[in-house]
Structure 1
Amino acid sequence: MNDFTKFIKSNQEQAVASWVNYLNQVRIDQLLSSFKEQDENLLNALSSVDDAVKRINLEVVTSNRGGQHGMHGFIAELAEVGIGNARKHILGQDPVYQWVNDNGPVDLVRGSVDIQQKFVASGGRFSLGAITEHLEKYPDYVKNGGKYQIPRDHFEVVKRLYSMPPEESGKFLSRSGDGPSFTDWRRIDAFFRQGSIDLESLEPSTLEYRQVQRGVYESTMADEENSLRSIDRSLRDNAYQESLPTLGEGASATLTAAAVEGGTAFVLAVVAKKRQGTQFREFTQQDWIDIAGQTGVSFGKGGIRGSSIYALTNFTATSAAVASSIVTASFGIAEQANKLRRGEIDELEFIENAELLSLEAAVSALSSFVGQAVIPVPVLGAVIGNTVGAIMYRTVASSLSTREAELVERYLDEQRVLDEQLAAEHQELIQKLDEGMSDYLGLLERAFSPDVQIALLGSAELARRLGVPADEILDSEEKIHAYFLD
């Protein structure tokens, strides 16, 4: 593979890595943006509840507005506005409730809908009696699109009894005072039989009747704040789950990388054929088979590269540039391993080639990383960085190659001379060792001979060879007699 082909493939590989990194970064940016927006949403939601509590304390409780029996109605209005807007804020939506506060026919406005709130427990009519009084005073209220809002628990009872047929009402409703009674059903039935209003004109409040009483509303609003925080955590969890890598995105990265690498290989294969002097129209069937083979292999490598980079960047602490270089080095080393198994290179060449491949991959990774940091444009920065880094690396490598080759050649010559010299000395030492060992074995044989006379002479000779002083060696009868008898 020539330098130009290496250069193109290196840029293509880092471009794929940069693109995968861009996909990952988009998800991360979206997650951080979602968290930032949610911070503001939660703040606005809690502020809406806090403002409602402050207004209730100041404008209703402190001023005793509505008196002992009517205060809870004004508490309910402000609580509905605060909670209703808070539940919009937590979802990132605009507030919809406004408190009218003019003692007129409308208590609240939700968007373009007028709302009259009735929180009345007296009379046992689930706030419907208060609606009747309001309709008598403002007969066109419903016709003009207005709605009545009653406590949520009141609405549930009204809706249930409204839908109950007469034949069931006397059979299933309580007559002991536990739960809705038959009398309640009759009152609700009579209310709707008047025909001035239907169930569609009623709606439940966010709160129940008991939750807006003077001694209870603060805990009600505190519970709502806890509920808002719970919703906030759920929304953040959803945003985090949506930001996680997906099988679909991984498949897209795999296919895109395969297509890019396969396309690059196709172009390079065609260019290589043309450089050999073959015109495009002269390509033979074998030429196209060769091109298709190279394209197919690169398509497979590209798929492996895309999936590997996606996995490494999402499930390990590895940057895209480094991940691509790891894959590139792995492919190269695997190819060198095949050559080693086929006997095309020896172990030393395998190690040297693997080191060189790893070095080039590291230079590519570092250059792409720096380029992307300096030029924060997806893909473009990585390609430019890799281009500059590759050119600098090859320039430095070529400028040093001549001197390095001379140094290596001189070193090899010195090693050859030294090897020959050491080999000669080694052979000489081996020969001397063999001669000495032969003499030593001969002495041992004589020293331990069954013949006493031979053994005596052999022992004496062995002692002299081992450096025993001559006067201490028993090599004569006189010395033996003197040693044992004197």
Structure 2
Amino acid sequence: MTNEKDNLAKSNQEQAVAAWVNHLNQIRLDTLLSSLRRQDTNLRDALRSIDEAVRTINLEVVFTNRGGVKGMHGFIAEVAEVGVGNARSQVQGQGAVYQWINNNSPVDLVREGLGIQQKFVASGGRLGLGAISEHLSKYPDFLADGGKYQIPLDHYEAIRALNDLPAEEAGKFLTRSGDGPSLKDWQRVRDFFADGSVSIDALEPSTLEYHQVQREVYESTLGAERNSLHSTDRSLRDEAYQQSRPSLRQAGTATATAAAAEGGAALVLALAAKRREGKKFKDFSEQDWIDVASATGLGAVQGSVRGVSLYALSNFTATPAAVASSIVTAGFGIAEQAHLLRVGKINELEFIQNTELISLEASVSALSSVLGQILVPVPVLGAVIGNTVGTVMYRAVSTSLSEREAALVERYAQEQRELDAQLASEQQELLEALESTLTDYIDLLERAFSPDVEIALAGSVELAVELGVDSEDVLDSQEKVSAYFLD
């Protein structure tokens, strides 16, 4: 009875570890599915922002010819910045960040509370710096109130490069005319920031370049942004998948936890066994502690094997953790029976019977744990309850055989043993008879094929008779030989 309780406790501990590993796997998969569902929403919102930007530009800017030929691209840039900026934030799951202030106020856009004035101006060759000066003279408190100027990305990069270029290098590498930035451009940028009313930090780049917001190309610009959003979405989904994959770190955690749990269970059971012998802890001998330590160490090793096997089987094959744990348990049990067979403590029939019983008990444990987890959907607890109930029921049924049924089983086993002995005896008799027949047959062959003609003739006759040839057809006399070859 005590041994059954120990086995049940150990089985519960094993299935608890399996349920915990399964719970870890489920959390990882649930997190992946949740991330993918959120990403569906993120992509949908981002694409909607692009569509709304295209629709607003078409209806409120292009259709109404707002800003005219020279100023239309400025309004296109404002709406496009809102659409692209919001979409890039939304696809990352961060929500919309831009708002378009469509009322000719000092602020064109608001980004998370920051007022922005956009200047997409190329006339005069000043990269929009002249337009910034005009706006600042009209609204001198714009920067002091926390505002910011936003200019095309390509303009910002050119201004930044010129502002950072030392005078000696400017004189050496820049020309007074020709393609690209000139020495005059460099001087213009330096003069703009010289009085300190506007710093380079008061400027920021747009997400778009000047040429991308012209009337003829804004649709293709926003169409390319849609493709970019899809690419970003795929990258985010792949990142979520990579994060959800089984990892060596989590496998190590599962292995260490299983080793600690199984080693701890082995320690408790070993101490309990010593206490049942009537020994108190203070009376333990050195050998007692060696026995306890040995059992604990073996349990920890088995737990390590169980942990890494559970993690591998439940993640890299379609094997539930409860079933994986039972496979490992059965493997340990069968390995022990194989050792007993090798050292001669059990015979082959006992080995087969014991391994069948071990496999059956492991299957009952796995099935009970799975059903328990379904009926009691509480991580670990459901598996332990299911395993306890299923194991107790199985052992109650397995020990309820009547004496008659037990006698039938024993009689069947005895009949099998007697049959084995009888068949072994008959096999030996057949082997001896076969050996004798083969000896006579080989002797006949030697005489039939002897170099001595007379011996060969006599041997051939004997061989023919032995093989069942009719005596009338055997050439065993001079008359029969003459009649066969001459008549």
- With normalisation by structure 1, the TM-score equals 0.87
Go from structure 1 to structure 2 and tell me whether the alpha carbon gap of 1:420 and 1:62 turns closer, same or farther (over 3 Å shift): closer
Deviation for aligned residue 1:422: 8.1
| Between 275-284 and 132-141, the greater mean CA deviation after superposition | 275-284
Deviation for aligned residue 1:413: 5.0
Q: Which residue of 2 aligns with 1:293?
A: 294
Give the distance between the partners of 2:239 and 2:409, measured in 1 at CA. 62
Q: Which residue of 1 aligns with 2:153?
A: 152
Q: Which residue of 2 aligns with 1:481?
A: none
Paired letter, 1:61 = V
Q: Which residue of 1 aligns with 2:126?
A: 125
Give the distance between the partners of 1:262 and 1:239, measured in 2 at CA. 35
Paired letter, 1:335 = E
Go from structure 1 to structure 2 and tell me whether the alpha carbon gap of 1:428 and 1:103 turns closer, same or farther (over 3 Å shift): closer
Paired letter, 1:9 = K
Go from structure 1 to structure 2 and tell me whether the alpha carbon gap of 1:237 and 1:420 turns closer, same or farther (over 3 Å shift): closer
Are 1:67 and 2:68 an aligned pair?
Answer: yes
SS state at 1:399 partner? coil
- RMSD in angstroms over aligned alpha carbons? 3.9
State which structure, 1 or 2, has the greater radius of gyration over its C-alpha atoms: 1
Paired letter, 1:359 = L
Paired letter, 2:308 = S
Go from structure 1 to structure 2 and tell me whether the alpha carbon gap of 1:187 and 1:474 turns closer, same or farther (over 3 Å shift): closer
After TM superposition, list the pairs within 5 Å mapping 1:263-274 onto structure 2: 263-274=264-275
Are 1:165 and 2:166 an aligned pair?
Answer: yes
Deviation for aligned residue 1:426: 9.4
Q: Which residue of 2 aligns with 1:302?
A: 303
Give the distance between the partners of 2:131 and 2:418, measured in 1 at CA. 117
Deviation by residue 1:423-468 (Cα, 9 ceiling, x = unmatched): 999999999999999999xxxxxxxxx9x9xx99xx9xx99xx898
Paired letter, 1:262 = G
Give the distance between the partners of 1:8 and 1:120, measured in 2 at CA. 79
Deviation by residue 1:308-348 (Cα, 9 ceiling, x = unmatched): 11111112221101111111111111111111111111122
Q: Which residue of 2 aligns with 1:443?
A: none
SS state at 1:180 partner? coil
SS state at 2:110 partner? strand
Give the distance between the partners of 1:438 and 1:182, measured in 2 at CA. 117
Deviation by residue 1:393-426 (Cα, 9 ceiling, x = unmatched): 1111111364442112333455577788889999
Deviation by residue 1:85-125 (Cα, 9 ceiling, x = unmatched): 11111111132211111011111111121111111111111
Q: Which residue of 2 aligns with 1:365?
A: 366
| Between 426-435 and 337-346, the greater mean CA deviation after superposition | 426-435
SS state at 1:248 partner? helix
Deviation for aligned residue 1:349: 1.3
Go from structure 1 to structure 2 and tell me whether the alpha carbon gap of 1:473 and 1:144 turns closer, same or farther (over 3 Å shift): closer
Give the distance between the partners of 1:195 and 1:406, measured in 2 at CA. 107
Deviation for aligned residue 1:134: 0.9
Q: Which residue of 1 aligns with 2:263?
A: 262
Give the distance between the partners of 1:295 and 1:65, measured in 2 at CA. 83
Paired letter, 1:87 = R
Deviation by residue 1:41-60 (Cα, 9 ceiling, x = unmatched): 11111111111111011100
Aligned residues: 478
Are 1:312 and 2:331 an aligned pair?
Answer: no
Give the distance between the partners of 1:99 and 1:432, measured in 2 at CA. 107
Gaps of 5+ in 2: 442-451, 477-487
| Between 162-171 and 28-37, the greater mean CA deviation after superposition | 162-171
Deviation by residue 1:255-303 (Cα, 9 ceiling, x = unmatched): 1111111111111111111111222332222211111111111111111
Go from structure 1 to structure 2 and tell me whether the alpha carbon gap of 1:341 and 1:64 turns closer, same or farther (over 3 Å shift): same
Gaps of 5+ in 1: 441-449, 476-486
Are 1:251 and 2:252 an aligned pair?
Answer: yes
Paired letter, 1:107 = D
Deviation by residue 1:167-216 (Cα, 9 ceiling, x = unmatched): 33232113342101112122222222243211111111111100000011
Paired letter, 2:9 = I
Paired letter, 1:57 = N
Deviation for aligned residue 1:19: 0.6
SS state at 2:399 partner? helix
Paired letter, 1:311 = A
Go from structure 1 to structure 2 and tell me whether the alpha carbon gap of 1:222 and 1:428 turns closer, same or farther (over 3 Å shift): closer
Go from structure 1 to structure 2 and tell me whether the alpha carbon gap of 1:468 and 1:96 turns closer, same or farther (over 3 Å shift): closer
Paired letter, 2:396 = T
Q: Which residue of 1 aligns with 2:346?
A: 345
Q: Which residue of 1 aligns with 2:221?
A: 220
Go from structure 1 to structure 2 and tell me whether the alpha carbon gap of 1:358 and 1:166 turns closer, same or farther (over 3 Å shift): same
Go from structure 1 to structure 2 and tell me whether the alpha carbon gap of 1:117 and 1:348 turns closer, same or farther (over 3 Å shift): same
Deviation for aligned residue 1:363: 1.1
Paired letter, 2:25 = N
Percent of aligned pairs sharing the same letter: 63
SS state at 1:222 partner? helix
Go from structure 1 to structure 2 and tell me whether the alpha carbon gap of 1:400 and 1:182 turns closer, same or farther (over 3 Å shift): same
- With normalisation by structure 2, the TM-score equals 0.87
Deviation for aligned residue 1:21: 0.9
Q: Which residue of 1 aligns with 2:396?
A: 395
Paired letter, 1:235 = L
Paired letter, 1:350 = F
Go from structure 1 to structure 2 and tell me whether the alpha carbon gap of 1:418 and 1:180 turns closer, same or farther (over 3 Å shift): closer
Go from structure 1 to structure 2 and tell me whether the alpha carbon gap of 1:29 and 1:421 turns closer, same or farther (over 3 Å shift): closer
Give the distance between the partners of 1:437 and 1:334, measured in 2 at CA. 44
Go from structure 1 to structure 2 and tell me whether the alpha carbon gap of 1:84 and 1:331 turns closer, same or farther (over 3 Å shift): same
Give the distance between the partners of 2:434 and 2:227, measured in 1 at CA. 94
Give the distance between the partners of 1:288 and 1:305, measured in 2 at CA. 25
Are 1:336 and 2:337 an aligned pair?
Answer: yes
